[in-house]
Amino acid sequence: MRWSRKDLVGIRELSAEEITFVLDTAAAFKQVGTRDVKKVPALRGKTLVNFFVEPSTRTRTSFELAAKRLSADVINISATTSSLTKGETLKDTAKILEANHADIIVLRHSSAGAPQFLAERLRASVINAGDGAHEHPTQALLDLYTIRERRGSIAGLHVAIVGDILFSRVARSNIFALLKLGARVTLVGPSTLVPRVFERLGVTVSHCIDEVLPTVDVVHLLRVQHERQRKEYFPGIGEYIRLFGLTKARAKLLKADCLIMHPGPINRGVEIDSDLADGVQSVILAQVTNGLAVRMAVLYLCGGIASR
Ligand code: CP
């Protein structure tokens, strides 16, 4: 297929063919990472701005490394060091970046829709690095890449996503991507955070993790987002662990080849027992490694369109 998007704002608007194309392109870039010289000239002469208005470790460093592996120049901007603190609008800040000939803007923002807003107004390529509770498309792509790498394909697998679905951009992007590629998805968590209305998306909703765990090929544990929670939605931490935490006792319910995933950052001992996070079924660090190849693929594909 021929890639035609200058921006990656969400998974919702991608076709199954486009998702598969990104994953296949990422596989080629992963191979580059095994060479002595881990750099290719694909984006030489291009400038990428990593514009993070919310904190990040994994996504920001992964995009920076991906851009450098593609030979792009990289500038990092955070909310606290930008003129956003002086009242400059997001649009004006982005226009300043474009006036400095930025070719690609990677944006993380607390407001859902911020990347779409910029994508519609800039010639530069805009990549969503997580916007509010809306989408985190490259996280879902790296999650699917990791599943496909371990299990051969996505179609026909049963995936449980556990936890704070209501406020989770990771969950939303994963749901769209997994369904498009033919997986069966069950959402698990307290009824306040996993309302039945999600079933309209084509998933199953369960409030009993012990019934679901023996049936799944992948269990994806979401971070408890203390910063986005309101008390009325969330049981206490102790109750959450008792009802939904992946404890050692509960992990005995899993099939022996079930993959354990987590987007990070992990609250060890809350979403998952610390030993399980580092155990043989965990692919949490593989997710991070694959994120680099997936982000190289996204920057290469979208950046190539923006520069035409
Ligand atoms: N998974 C993820 O987005 O992690 P960061 O917040 O560290 O980027």
Please tell me the distance between residue 290's alpha carbon and the centre of ligand 1 in angstroms.
14
Q: Following DSSP, what letter does each residue of the chain receive, concatenated?
A: -----S-B--STT--HHHHHHHHHHHHHHHHHTTSSS----TTTT-EEEEEESS--SHHHHHHHHHHHHTT-EEEEEEGGGSGGGGT--HHHHHHHHHHTT--EEEEEESSTTHHHHHHTT-SSEEEEEEETTTB-HHHHHHHHHHHHHHHS-STT-EEEEES--TT-HHHHHHHHHHHHTT-EEEEES-TTTS-GGGGGGT-EEES-HHHHGGG-SEEEEPP--TTT--TTT---HHHHHHHH-B-HHHHTTS-TT-EEE--S---BTTTB-HHHHTSTTB-HHHHHHHHHHHHHHHHHHHHHHHT-
Which listed residue (59, 93, 138, 146) is catalytic? 59
Instruction: Say how far apart CA 101 and CA 254 lie, in whole Å.
Output: 51
Measured torsion, CA atoms of residues 264, 270, 271, 276, in degrees rounded to the nearest 10: 90
Q: What is the pLDDT of residues 149-187, one digit of tens each?
A: 999 999 999 999 999 999 999 999 999 999 999 999 999
Cβ within 8 Å of residue 25, ≥6 positions away = 297, 300, 301
What pLDDT, on the 0 to 100 scale, is given for residue 231?
A: 67
What pLDDT, on the 0 to 100 scale, is given for residue 306?
A: 64
Report whether 70 contacts 300 (CB < 8 A): yes
Please tell me the distance between residue 245's alpha carbon and the centre of ligand 1 in angstroms.
20
For 140, 144, 248, 251, the CA distances from 130, given in Å and listed in that order, are 11, 17, 31, 30
Catalytic residue list contains 247: no
Q: Which residue has the tokens 């984006």?
A: 43
Instruction: Say how far apart CA 268 and CA 54 lie, in whole Å.
Output: 22
| Nearest Cα to Cα of residue 303 among 12, 76, 10, 44 | 44
Residues comprising the chain, all counted: 308
Which listed residue (6, 109, 136, 223) is catalytic? 136
Please tell me the distance between residue 1's alpha carbon and the centre of ligand 1 in angstroms.
30
Rounded average pLDDT over 115-128 = 95
The pLDDT mean for the chain works out to 94
Which of 52, 53, 57, 65 most suits a substitution to test ligand 1, by most atoms within 8 Å of the C-beta? 57
Q: Which of 87-91, 209-213, 223-227, 260-264 has the lowest mean pLDDT?
A: 223-227
Indicate whether 34 pLDDT > 60: yes
Catalytic residue list contains 146: no
**Percentage of the chain exceeding pLDDT 70:** 97
| Nearest Cα to Cα of residue 58 among 295, 216, 259 | 295
What pLDDT, on the 0 to 100 scale, is given for residue 224?
A: 87
DSSP β-ladder status, 184-188 and 204-206:
parallel
Residues with CB under 6 A from ligand 1: 56-59, 130, 139, 263-265
Rounded average pLDDT over 222-240 = 78
Indicate whether 234 pLDDT > 90: no
Q: What is the pLDDT of residues 71-103, one digit of tens each?
A: 999 999 988 878 888 888 988 988 888 888 899
Phi, psi of 194 (to 5 degrees): -135, 70
Instruction: Say how far apart CA 3 and CA 299 lie, in whole Å.
Output: 12
Q: Pick the residue whose CA is nearest to atom 4 on ligand 1.
A: 58
Strands across the sheet with 259-261, in order? 204-206, 184-188, 158-162, 218-221, 259-261
Atom of ligand 1 nearest to the CA of 223: 1
Catalytic residue list contains 108: yes
